[in-house]
Amino acid sequence: MTGRKRRRAPPATLPPGGLLDWRDSSHWSWTPKPCRYCGHDTHLRDGKRSPAHKTCAETALAQQAAEAADAYQNGQL
């Protein structure tokens, strides 16, 4: 038996309710700032306290996951 582990395939769809859980108050700011993805003002902050809409962040994560899955399928990783 070798020490290699089999990689799992990425999930085909998003889990119910999306990817991110922003119910915690740390994701809110009283000061609106431009979203890092779309540029429209938002009171929401991501995990690193950067301004971001939840939907914009989820879309960016889904795109990154799709690009990573594509790179994996093409043997680039």
Quote the radius of gyration of the chain (alpha carbons, Å). Answer: 16
Is residue 43 within 8 A of residue 22, CB to CB? The reply is no
pLDDT (tens digit per residue) in 18-38: 677 888 899 999 999 999 999
- Report the candidate in 66, 43, 67 with the shortest Cα–Cα distance to residue 54: 43
Cα 21 from Cα 19, distance rounded (Å): 7
Which range is least confidently modeled, 5-9, 35-39, 54-58? 5-9
pTM surpassing 0.85? no
Rounded Cα–Cα distance for residues 47 and 24 (Å): 10
| Residues 6 or more apart in contact with residue 65 via CB below 8 angstroms | 10
What's at 57, amino acid-wise? A
Confidence (pLDDT) at 12: 56
